[in-house]
Amino acid sequence: MKRTLFLTTLLVLTLFLASCITQPNDPGVLPGDTIELDVTYETNVKDGFVSTRSISAFEPSETFQYYFGFKGNAPLFKVNEIEVQANDLVYYEDSIAISYNKAGEEMKGAIQLFDTSDNGQPNESVRAKFENADINDILNDGDNLIFAGYTIVNSLNTIYVNMVDQKDIKNINNDNQVERTKENLRNVKVLYVQNDQQENEAGLVVTSIAKLGDYYYFSLANENGKILKTDSNFEILDSVDVNYVKDLQVSENSLYALSISTEGGTIVEYNSDLVEQNSVDVNSITSNEEKASLAILGDYAAYTRAENGFDLVNLSDGSDIVNFPLGTVNGLSYMDNSLFVHSASALLVYKFDGLSLVKNGEHYFSNAVEGDGTGLDVNELSPNFVTYNPETNLVFNATGNQGVFMYELIDQDASTPDKEYFDKIILNGNLVSGHLKTIPVVPTDEDSYPEIILDIIYYSKDSAHDHKIGIFNYKGTGVDNWDQLQGTDGFEVVELIESTKNENKDRETYKAYAKYLGFYINDLDENKTFRNPKALGDDYPNGESAIKFYINEDGNNGKGEIIVGFEDAGSNSNPDGDYNDVVLVIRAYHKNDTITDLFEIVDYQ
């Protein structure tokens, strides 16, 4: 009896002690569990994008349809004194959500929201800082923001996911909503626990999130990577093992996965049940740790190869591989029949015609950095991803350790008018005297000047002398001479072109932002300058102005344009009145406004 009691007691004690000890392979937390992250919040944030008027940022071309007007950048910030970097962003309604991380031992993340309803100056509204977790990817599924990343639980790499209603997070500043939204942000769901990670082995990270039908898909990367399929509650339904899976994209009814390493790679097409339908081999990347991005363009795919630019490949058989050697490229986004490419030095847009890619616009980051006072270092850009809203023409670019850049994508008439184009307008006597006045954004507020990007096309036909052409912004009127005007509020003058009397064409850009827009021509041979309005320049024969205007409402694909004619600057003693010696065609871009929404010709006051 005593022996039986002793054995029973020993067995109970053994079971009790075993229940108190965490087994080596027991993670202590399981997929489907809810864990709470350390999150702090800043609401009603008033910071916005640091804007610039750097005219060097614009690179119009006679062959490109688009160019990027650099509008500013959102500087980085710190989480517990650790600076995080912008790694992904998405549009939803009239806001953008940006995710940040700090990969490595210092796990830090953040989600930042900007209200973009003011097209000219997005303002930050919410900043949630995750003090013990990285955020690797973010998705807009139409109704919710989905974000995923990793944290450490019981010394194990733990992949988490969260879903937050877009309306809730946008209205987090409302007193009756703030606590509920904060709770939703910090309470995340465990998606996967890596309890087989070896010492010194890189842990799995979320490289992409996609949605196909009612299901969500997550790619977890590194050597022993995998793709997870979940339901709307993020319960895992299926998975496939895929080494170094870098990106997921959905097209039609298929899920495409890019897996790529130093040994080569594949693009695999899956159906919604993760059953392989097709695959093509692709070229390698220079390092297994490099990011890689995939875009599906009908029967073709574009994928990045880090230092080797990006490739275009036929998905049907892997043929027609074309390399675009742009240096380091990590980010691709295909939207609105255009492929946006983020290299280490430039943001580019390509038009896809169904068979090939043709460059359709470019903007080198150095043009945005030089001279605008923001202190950005273009050599330290870490390429990431782009989002584009065709309704506002705003492009936002997550640039890693340089924050987020904002552009206005300008859809321009790329043609350059010829002599006959000018003569048709000018010889019909359409040009009139006056000066250009900006129409206020708010009719009752004369100080609400829009910032307008000007595409200026220059043509010199019969100018008798060499000359310089310039442009100036100014707010004040009623001054008698040029010296007085230079001291007025908002004055800025920029030389656009220095040219010879020989026939030539050129193209420049400028940003108008003041009440009036003026022009001047300097005759370099006679050292005379004529300005518009004429009260600010030298006297001109017969009381005429040397510079006249015409608003051609039918030009620039119906958006309208301004024709500026300069009269015989080098022959002012005997002008012939044709105003075609030097001509400017000015196309203005601000949202979707026409030229008559932006400017009018008025008398000088």
443 versus 151: the higher-pLDDT residue is 151
Asked if residues 257 and 219 have their Cβ atoms less than 8 Å apart, the reply is yes
Q: Which residues, 6+ apart, have CB-to-CB distance to 483 below 8 Å?
A: none
H-helix segments, 302-393: 365-369
Lowest-pLDDT choice from 174-178, 359-363, 427-431:
174-178
Return the pLDDT at 54: 42
Looking at the predicted structure, is the pLDDT value of residue 322 above 70?
A: yes
34 token code pair = 């809810």
Return the pLDDT at 368: 59
Distance between CA atoms of residues 242 and 257, nearest Å: 9
pLDDT band at 214; cut points 50, 70, 90:
very high
Give CA angle at 226 (221, 231), nearest 5°. Answer: 115
294 token code pair = 């995939």
Q: Which residues, 6+ apart, have CB-to-CB distance to 305 below 8 Å?
A: 260, 283, 284, 285, 286, 292, 311, 323, 329
| pLDDT tens string 100-120 | 888 666 788 998 888 877 655
pLDDT band at 5; cut points 50, 70, 90:
very low
| pLDDT tens string 136-191 | 999 998 888 999 998 988 888 899 999 988 777 766 666 666 777 788 888 999 99
Average pLDDT, stretch 512-524?
85
| pLDDT tens string 457-487 | 887 766 667 788 888 888 876 777 788 888 7
Give CA angle at 258 (146, 110), nearest 5°. Answer: 30
Asked if residues 212 and 250 have their Cβ atoms less than 8 Å apart, the reply is yes
Asked if residues 268 and 282 have their Cβ atoms less than 8 Å apart, the reply is no
SS3 10: helix
Return the pLDDT at 14: 45
Asked if residues 537 and 520 have their Cβ atoms less than 8 Å apart, the reply is yes
Task: Identify the CATH homologous superfamily for domain 39-369+381-411.
Answer: YVTN repeat-like/Quinoprotein amine dehydrogenase (2.130.10.10)
Return the pLDDT at 189: 95
pLDDT band at 197; cut points 50, 70, 90:
low
Q: Hey, where are the domains in the chain?
A: 39-369+381-411, 419-603
Asked if residues 438 and 599 have their Cβ atoms less than 8 Å apart, the reply is yes
Average pLDDT, stretch 305-326?
90
Return the pLDDT at 33: 93
Average pLDDT, stretch 358-362?
83
> What is the overall mean pLDDT for the chain?
79
Cα–Cα separations (whole angstroms), residue 99 to 110, 223, 245, 313, 599:
6, 25, 20, 30, 40
| pLDDT tens string 502-511 | 656 677 777 7
Most confident of the following: 7-11, 70-74, 244-248:
244-248
